[in-house]
Every structure is written in structure tokens, then in C-alpha cells.
Amino acid sequence: MTNNRRLLLCMPHMSGNEMKFIEEAMRGNWAVPMGPHVDAFERALEEFLGLEGTGKRVVALSAGTAALHLALVACGVGPGDEVICQSMTFAASCNPVRYVGATPVFVDSEAVTWNIDPTLLDRAISERISLTNRKPKAIIIVHLYGMPAQVEEIRAVADKYAIPVIEDAAEAFGSNYGGQAAGTFGDFGVLSFNGNKMITTSGGGALIVPDEATRRRVIYYATQARDGYPYYHHTEVGYNYRLSNISACIGLGQMTVLNQHLEHHRRVHEIYGELFASEPRIMLSGNPTEKYDANFWLSTILLSRELSIKGREDAYVQPTENAVGGVAAVTRQASDVHSTCEPSVDVEALRLRLSRLNIETRPLWKPMHRQPVFAECPAYVSGTAETLFERGLCLPSGPDITPDDQKFIVNSILDSIN
């Protein structure tokens, strides 16, 4: 049996309120990258994140990537600087380090939350200081798949060296640690409202900033760094990164269903937990202690080395076409897989089997220190991220996934195991 409808990882889901805000904006001729809906969206985010009384503010931007870029600009990162970055992440976390001419220094993950390893972080910083005589300018941490990183331990290391923390919470909107919202632990916090995230503005993001002065500064950089003259006068390089008012309308509509989305993703995770309970060789990742409250943006599993997937002999990793016309199709024999950094043959065999049943799954993020584009960058590696990448898969978790879909997904997985 295959599914008629393809079960995708995470699709956008509209509340029905988006159009009301858009019509309101159109009536007021607010089809510009600023306006009352941008302001209202920022206030709604601040309220949701519990920023009142903290001094922190939110600036809505055109993408999470833009928010990371401006966080680096605000930290004064420039050519020749080094920035520590969690290696296991999406490339958007560290591409902006290159935009400002700096070098990312990658640090591996710990096995509990899959995020940056605080002990290795400490070692990396002290070694960079002794090698270069300079401190890394910032630390980029990530809450992968919505699981909060070990923020207390990371903060202690960052404070010991007095290095600012940029918290990439693009996947962790609505996650908490110790009752505090992800994105509010760092000096800067990054949110994404891309189409596949917890909520969408079709494309957009936000930067959580420490205070009002920084908020003004970030808006200045996001709007071409225009100085206060009647004509256009510039003393610094600026960017065009402000969120469109129309996108903010979608965001305001999405805020009306955010709590529903969060409940849904957490419920999906709970159901996967129940359905996989009988198979100890499939490990569903979960909150390690009661302090952690992940949003479970995507539910993820690790395949034990003790299982094998039917048809694994035929599985090999084959790049799919990219947006600009395809990549050279490198095919590998199953036997080569472990000498490179690829998903294991079992993971790939399972992915292919599920895909034929109309179920989308995806390997975990491939560590940045194994990406050709960052091959020259220093890396502090324990092997954890590579192992996770080799053994892990993301499962459909979005608003359209029903309990029956989940039964079909899990039964299909269990049927695939030898």
C-alpha cells in the first residue's frame, strides 16, 4: 500500500487570518518593507518570547540568514576574524561568517542534544587564542530540530572568555529551556519564518537584540545604513534586509495558530514515541531532562547499527538535482559509504523505500566541517556529528500529518527492518 498524498517533512499551513491582514495592508497602501504590520508582528513576537522587562527587542528581517548576517555585523565581525560555529547545522548558520570576510571555526556536537559540545567549545577557544593571539569574535550555537542546546554550560564558557553568543533558533521557535524561550539566551537570537519552519511569512526572519540601542543600530544596517540627512548620506555599508509589510501580514496570521502548531509538533513527537516503543533499534530523539522543552519542529530517529534495512544492497547515495541545473551525479557503491561522510547504507535504503511509498524523509544535517565549501576551515571534531549524520533521519512532522499518517509511516519503517 502506498499513500495517495505524499507525506512531506513540514509544509506551511495557513490559519485563514492571513488574508485579512493583507487586505488591511493593501487598503492602507502598506505594500512596502516597513509599516504597521511589521511593527505589530515584532510586538507579537516580543510578547510570545516573554521579552517584557528584559530590555530585549525584536527586529523583523527578510530572512533568518539576514538576521545572522546582521548579528555578525552588530558584533563587529570583519575580515580576518574567526567565529566559532556549531558544525552540525544548516549552511545558513555559517555562510554569513563568510559574507563578512571572517573564518568559521567549527566545533562538534555532544550526543545528548546534538548541539555544540561545551567542553570542546572551551578547548577550541583556548586553542584559537594561543594559536592566533586573538579571541574568536562570536560563537554561533544552534538548536537543531528545535532541541535546545546546553545553554547554561555554553553561556559559562562564553562568559569566561567574554565572547558574544549568537543563538540560531531558526528551528526552535517555541522551544524552551528552564521555562525560558529559545532565542533569548544569547546576546543575539535568530528566528526564521521560511516556508518549512514552525510558522511562515513565506520568507522572513527576525533578530532578537539585547536592547533598544542595538535595535536602532540593526534597523539602520537593515535599511541601507542611511544617516540622518534630508538627502541620502552614508558613512557605513548597509543592507536591504527589512521584512516586507505584506510578509508581516502573513506572520500576524500565523501567530494566531502558533500555539496550535507547537501543540501539533509535540503531539506528533509523542505519537512517534508510542509507535516506536516496541523497536529498541530505532531511537527517537527526545528531551533529555525536564528542563528541555523542544518544539519538535522535526521528529528525528537514529538507526541502530544492529539493524539492517531490506534492499540495503541496492542503496547508494545519489545527489538530487539542485536548483541551478543539477550536480554531477556521483554514485557510490554501498561498500564505499563508510570511508566518506555519507548516510549509512541502511539510512539510504530506508529513505529510498519510504520515498517509493510516498513518504519524504531526509538525512540529518551534514556537518559543516565535512562540506567541500568549508574544507579549509579549522574544526574541533569528536566524531559525534558525523555519526549522527550517518545514522539519522528526519520524519514528516508538519501540520498536515495525521495520526493515521504516522501509523503508516512507522509501520512502513518497521516493515523495512530485517
- Rounded to whole angstroms, how far apart are CA atoms 391 and 310? 16
- Considering the complex, state which of residue 90 and residue 380 has its C-beta at the smaller distance from ligand PLP: 90
Counting contacts by CB under 6 A, is residue 116 touching ligand PLP? no
Counting contacts by CB under 6 A, is residue 207 touching ligand PLP? no
- Rounded to whole angstroms, how far apart are CA atoms 241 and 183? 19
Residue 199 near residue 258 (C-beta atoms within 8 A): yes
Counting contacts by CB under 6 A, is residue 89 touching ligand PLP? yes
C-alpha cell belonging to residue 122: 572551551
Counting contacts by CB under 6 A, is residue 63 touching ligand PLP? yes
Counting contacts by CB under 6 A, is residue 412 touching ligand PLP? no
| CA 310 to chain CA centroid, nearest Å | 32
Radius of gyration, CA atoms only, the chain: 22
Q: How far is the CB of 106 from ligand PLP (least distance, A)?
A: 14
Q: How far is the CB of 385 from ligand PLP (least distance, A)?
A: 14
Distance of CA 79 to CAs 22, 76, 102, 137, Å? 41, 10, 5, 11
Q: Which of 12, 33, 35, 64 binds ligand PLP (CB under 6 A)?
A: 64
Contact segment (CB under 6 A) with ligand PLP among 69-77, 112-120, 163-171, 395-403 equals 163-171
- Considering the complex, state which of residue 285 and residue 416 has its C-beta at the smaller distance from ligand PLP: 285
- Considering the complex, state which of residue 92 and residue 388 has its C-beta at the smaller distance from ligand PLP: 92
Residue facing ligand PLP at closest CB distance: 64
- Rounded to whole angstroms, how far apart are CA atoms 97 and 116? 17
Q: How far is the CB of 205 from ligand PLP (least distance, A)?
A: 4
Residue type, 367: P
Residue 337 near residue 314 (C-beta atoms within 8 A): no
Q: Which of 194, 201, 295, 300 binds ligand PLP (CB under 6 A)?
A: 194
Closest by Cα among 286, 266, 289 to 277: 286
- Considering the complex, state which of residue 58 and residue 63 has its C-beta at the smaller distance from ligand PLP: 63
- Considering the complex, state which of residue 148 and residue 205 has its C-beta at the smaller distance from ligand PLP: 205
Counting contacts by CB under 6 A, is residue 201 touching ligand PLP? no
CA angle, 332 then 93 then 117, to 5°: 85
Q: At what angle do helices 18-27 and 245-255 cross, to 10 degrees?
A: 150
Q: Please state whether 84 falls in left (phi above 0), alpha (psi between -120 and 50) or beta.
A: beta
Counting contacts by CB under 6 A, is residue 65 touching ligand PLP? yes
Q: Which residues contact 262 (CB under 8 A, 6 or more apart)?
A: 174, 198, 295
C-alpha cell belonging to residue 390: 550517518
Contact segment (CB under 6 A) with ligand PLP among 164-172, 353-361, 370-378, 382-390 equals 164-172
Secondary structure of residue 257 in the 3-state scheme: coil
Q: How far is the CB of 359 from ligand PLP (least distance, A)?
A: 21
Q: How far is the CB of 200 from ligand PLP (least distance, A)?
A: 10
Site for ligand PLP in 137-156 (CB under 6 A): 142
Closest by Cα among 89, 101, 99, 174 to 140: 89
Site for ligand PLP in 263-302 (CB under 6 A): none
Residue type, 262: L
Q: Which of 108, 117, 171, 293 binds ligand PLP (CB under 6 A)?
A: 171
Q: How far is the CB of 307 from ligand PLP (least distance, A)?
A: 28
- Considering the complex, state which of residue 247 and residue 344 has its C-beta at the smaller distance from ligand PLP: 247
Contact segment (CB under 6 A) with ligand PLP among 59-67, 208-216, 315-323, 391-399 equals 59-67
- Rounded to whole angstroms, how far apart are CA atoms 166 and 186? 5
Q: How far is the CB of 197 from ligand PLP (least distance, A)?
A: 6
Neighbour-count burial of 36, counting CB atoms closer than 10 A to its CB (0-12 exposed, 13-18 middle, 19+ buried): middle
Sole residue written with cell 552540525: 88
Binding mask 92-111 for ligand PLP (x = CB under 6 A): xx------------------
Residues engaged in binding ligand PLP (CB under 6 A) = 63-65, 89-90, 92-93, 142, 168, 170-171, 192, 194, 205
